[in-house]
Chain A
Amino acid sequence: MDKPTEPRSISLLRHAVLLVFAAISVYPVLTVVSISLRPGNQLQSTDLSIIPEGWSFDSYRELLFEQPFLLWLGNSILVSALVTLTGVAMAAIGGYALSRFKFIGRQSTMLALLTTQMFPATMLLLPLYILIAKLHLVNTFLGLMIFYVSTALPFCVWQMKGFYDTIPTSLEEAARIDGCSQLEAFTKVILPIAVPGLVITALFSFMTAWSEYLVAAQVLQESELFTLPLGIKSFQASMSTQWGLYAAASILVSLPVVVVFLALSKFLVSGMTLGAVKE
């Protein structure tokens, strides 16, 4: 592959834009780091220094060794991984159906998916409790998974449909002529091209499960089953939050997200263009 070159001015412009936004992205999080290092549980600082006076890693030490942080981490990883797998699988096939087949109720399905996101979540507290009780989902990860997958799916299905839409149908037609079945044309030809879409879908499903709090607080009534957001929230108390632990935990929670993103983004920016398309 030959590296395309650009005029120097364009490349400088790219760096300028990226540097400014990188700084904007990072600064507020540096203040979170600062809170996590600050002694005495203070949220507000009176100066701009990032390394506070009398700083220490005490919050991190307490978090890892004296709090059940690793247990929560394990629970969160389990739930998020399963939600990601299920979500991606369902969205990959559902989106394909919506993109390629003109079946009855297709338009209404698209709309119905969208409408599930329109209702303000605040009003769902009461019916969700009733539903969880009726389905006997209290204290089960399955309960969490069902809700997370169904929260993530509308976006994921739409997203996958959008991706499949950019892939010309001539590809499947060619595969079918070569003797592939309907299923094989999908799994062997289309799916590999749709990898960037799958990556976004995976990332989104993962984040949905990883950071969700409201449903988890309803389903899980046992502190051994807590996921990370629930655990972190337990450091917060009205008017006497343990800000050090709260901030340290928030920083640690975001590390796996960065790792997952890095691992997945290989497929996102590797230039897997549609070399195959020759129309």
Chain B
Amino acid sequence: MATRRKKNRLAATASSILLFGILTSLLGCEQTDNRQVVTLWHQMVPRERVVLDRLIAKFEATHPDIRIRALYKETEELRSGFQAAALAGIGPELVYGPSDVLGAFHSMRIIQDMSPWVPEQFEENFLKEALTYLPGPTDSQQRVLVQIPDRFGNHLALVYNRNFIAVPPKTTDDLIRLGIANTIDADHDGRNERYGLVWNFAEPFFMIPFLTGHGGWVFDDSGKPVPALDTPECVAALQMVVALRDKYKIVPRSCDYETADSLFKSGKAAMIINGDWIWTDYLETQGIDAVVAPLPVVSSTGKPMAPMVSPKGYSLNAFASTKGASAAMQFVLMMTSEKTQREFMQEVRILPSRKALLQDPALSADPTLLASKQQLGNGRMMPVETELRAVWDAMRPHYQSLLGGNLSAEQAAQAMQKDALRGIELLNRKSTEAPAAWAWQLTGILLIASLVVWQRQSIADFFPDIRRQPFAYLLIAPALATIFLTVVFPFGYNVALSLSDMSLTNFQDWKIVGLRNYVEVLSEAKFFFILLKTLVWTLVNVAFHVGIGVMLAIAINGPIRGKTIYRILLIIPWAVPAYITALTWRSMFHFDYGAVNLLAGNLLGIDPINWWNDPGPAFAACIVANVWLGYPFMMVIALGGLQGIPGELYEAAKIDGATRWQQFRNVTLPLLKPVLAPAVTLGAIWTFNNLNVIWLVSNGGEPADKTHILVSYVYKAVFNLYRYGYGSALSMVIFAILLVASLISLQRSKATENVYG
């Protein structure tokens, strides 16, 4: 026995040495490279990344002491990620993207003035509005250069398929006429084979040309960012969008970005409104003959439909090291040079930010670039003010309600204006209360002290108990230490934030202001409604997960053929990444083309449902998708649990004359309970906090922000309006709700106790 124990110990030592070796190899990616690394987070589309990679290689060849590390980040990820990373001091030196985030980055003071690095007369070479200057933080006369653009545009235009349309529409009356002629249902099955016009009409950015065509704009002409949405112009624009769909019936009843894109690419739409980032894709798509043209003039006003235009370019991290910043700026100057911009212009058909290139022969030789330039000519500059964010946020839900037929154009415009004003107020709120940090520190110390006093008996017994049964403590220590390392700091940080005034205006110099955020969370009527919805979401999902999972486990756990095949097929929803299956579920609920409506129609003769028009069906669709994602996991757990049930118990039950149902009720269930309990408890917590599925399936809360559960609501509050304090407080409330709920359920189920004990 003793020698064997020794052997075991040897084996344990050897394996821990091995593990240590692997760990050190994981840590030490030895850097033999002494070059200055410049990290760039960019938002270039795949086609542009090819050019970017080539230019980086060229730059590194001519600058042997610099290495460029380019990482693609999705729009929202770049924005929220950069804020956090910059503050933590590990942000990238450079961020690349459209100018609409600059106002926020500048307010947060996480980007810096680039003018010290640019050569003399640099400004004259660029288009007037392409270089973005913002007033200094202390001196409003100072001009801070916050972005150097490598392009100008990012605008919408009309793309038409020449197979169907010979001459593009000049006016909206033309557009409607062409649209009607090209909306075709040849077999009269109620589903069109071709639509006249498609575009992403669920998104307000795509509505701007209709607004400008009717003489309106998102802000009024006071020069300050005051929203102007409750205007006759805005109402007329909204009415026109609805009329295109409901009166002239030339656009699909339900059409998000991907639907519009697919319809146009597959020749099932004659015209599409889309941006310069995608035109080359259309030109190169087989089977269609795409041509870009400027948007038409609105017939009733005689004004052109003007899209928003903005520069895209590079901004410099305020916390970059001196060496890093100077290396980064060398790269930026190369990337915004005339030569580079010409390459991008020719290869991906985007307009340059330098004046000289607009007269370049390469531009006039390309009909797409010419049309683009013409469209740019009547475009309107996208405001860089952060207030625009509040405007988009206010427009989206009411715009979607209007499209869902739940609001009139007048009501929608009114509601948009009201919410935009409120959003702007929230964005710009400065904290006025005097900070009483010491009071809060004192409260914290008192809380901890009272906890110690309350648990004094346990603490006193703790060390003797370690000596009494060291084995138990030794076994649990590794798990606790790992978790402790990663959990304690983030949690403490959030407690602090939830008591603070951290927001757009107090991003770096936030201070403790007390319970204000909690009062705000709990005094909002919406909170309780969303909480109720979250509870329904959790209960329904978990009930189906467990019910289906246990049923499948029992079905598969008998003497049947094909177990392996069934097991593989049933595990699939868990195996395939949710970030794509959630999207396929969304498309399966599409009004015209979704499998759910088609199958229900063909097999059961049910009329198609417009899932994303009303909150009820939309929420149900999200639940269906999440149930599908979750039952395989419960099945696996239940399968494992069934193995632990001794066969003798069933034998005994049979001898006692128990029916199958009684066997299930009295043997299977009670013995499955200890194994299922952790999965059910944690499953409920994960479902309660499941952001991804709701977000992906409902496309961020469609319709009209009515599918939100608490976490997606937090996400919106924090990342759309930069309300960090409020978001943290809401997270703490979520935490408290879950804590209380689990305490109650643990108390009742005694899941922490041994089943045989």
Contact = CB atoms under 8 A, between A and B. Distances in A.
B465 A104 contact: yes
B633 to A, nearest CB: 8
B275 to A, nearest CB: 7
Interface string A264-279: 0100111111110100
Contacts of A273: 643-647
Contacts of A105: 458, 462
B524 interface: no
B643 A268 contact: yes
Given A165-B674, A196-B640, A129 B88 contact: yes
In this complex, the member of B8, B72, B497, B746 whose beta carbon has the largest number of chain A beta carbons within 10 angstroms is B72
Given A82-B22, A129-B87, A196 B644 contact: yes
Contacts of B646: 273-275, 277
Contacts of A168: 756
B552 A109 contact: no
B575 A258 contact: yes
B755 A166 contact: yes
A118 B688 CA distance: 9
Given A126-B84, A162-B678, A239 B754 contact: no
Given A97-B476, A126-B84, A234-B72, A269 B490 contact: no
Nearest to B5: A181
B587 interface: yes
Contacts of A57: none
Interface in A171-213: 179, 181-184, 187, 193, 196-197, 199-200, 203, 207, 211, 213
B378 interface: no
Interface residues of A, number: 149
B678 A158 contact: yes
A237 B43 contact: yes
Nearest to B288: A40
Interface in B628-666: 628, 631-632, 636-637, 639-641, 643-647, 660
Q: Is the interface of A mostly helix, strand, loop or mixed?
A: helix
A176 to B, nearest CB: 13
B711 A25 contact: no
A118 B685 contact: yes
A213 B558 CA distance: 38
A213 to B, nearest CB: 7
A216 interface: no
Nearest to A160: B678
B691 interface: yes
Given A17-B552, A18-B552, A150-B482, A46 B266 contact: yes
B739 A268 contact: no
Contacts of B746: 111
Interface string A143-164: 0011101100111011101110
A250 B636 contact: no
A29 interface: yes
Contacts, number: 422
Contacts of B571: 257-258, 261
Contact of B71 (A90, A91, A154, A221): A221
Contacts of A229: 577, 579
User: Which among A93, A165, A261 has the greatest number of chain B C-beta atoms within 10 A?
Assistant: A165
A31 B595 contact: yes
Contact of B640 (A120, A123, A199, A223): A199
A154 B682 contact: yes
B interface, by DSSP: helix, strand, loop or mixed?
helix
B340 interface: no
B640 A268 contact: yes
A28 to B, nearest CB: 5
B483 A116 contact: yes
Contact of B735 (A119, A207, A218, A237): A119
Interface in B430-468: 458, 461-462, 465
Contacts of A15: 560
A275 B649 CA distance: 11
A141 interface: yes
Interface string B730-757: 0100110011001100100001111111
Contacts of A167: 644
Contact of A43 (B262, B559, B568): B262
B85 A129 contact: yes
Interface in A2-48: 3-6, 10-11, 13-15, 17-18, 21-22, 24-29, 31-32, 35, 39-48
Residue with the highest number of chain A CB atoms closer than 10 Å, among B81, B497, B548: B81
B575 A104 contact: no
A120 B479 contact: no
A77 to B, nearest CB: 13
A43 B46 contact: no
Contacts of A65: none
Interface string B674-688: 111111011001100
Contacts of A130: 87-88, 489, 493
Contacts of B475: 93-94, 96-97, 101
B560 A11 contact: yes
B112 to A, nearest CB: 19
Interface in A219-267: 221-223, 225, 229, 232-240, 242, 246-247, 250-251, 253-254, 257-258, 261-262, 265
B186 interface: no
* Residue of A31, A90, A104 with most partner-chain B CB within 10 A: A104
A118 B737 CA distance: 9
A157 B628 CA distance: 26
Nearest to B576: A254
Among all A-B residue pairs, the 7 with the closest Cβ atoms: A158-B678, A101-B472, A97-B475, A127-B490, A129-B88, A94-B479, A127-B493
Interface of A: 3-6, 10-11, 13-15, 17-18, 21-22, 24-29, 31-32, 35, 39-48, 54, 82, 89-91, 93-94, 96-101, 103-105, 107, 109-111, 113-133, 138-142, 145-147, 149-150, 153-155, 157-159, 161-163, 165-169, 179, 181-184, 187, 193, 196-197, 199-200, 203, 207, 211, 213, 217-218, 221-223, 225, 229, 232-240, 242, 246-247, 250-251, 253-254, 257-258, 261-262, 265, 268-275, 277
14 contacts: A31-B584, A40-B266, A44-B259, A44-B263, A48-B595, A90-B482, A122-B727, A126-B724, A128-B490, A129-B85, A157-B479, A166-B674, A239-B277, A275-B646
Given A22-B565, A122-B715, A237-B46, 12 more contacts: A43-B262, A44-B263, A44-B593, A103-B469, A124-B494, A125-B80, A150-B487, A233-B74, A238-B74, A250-B576, A251-B576, A261-B571
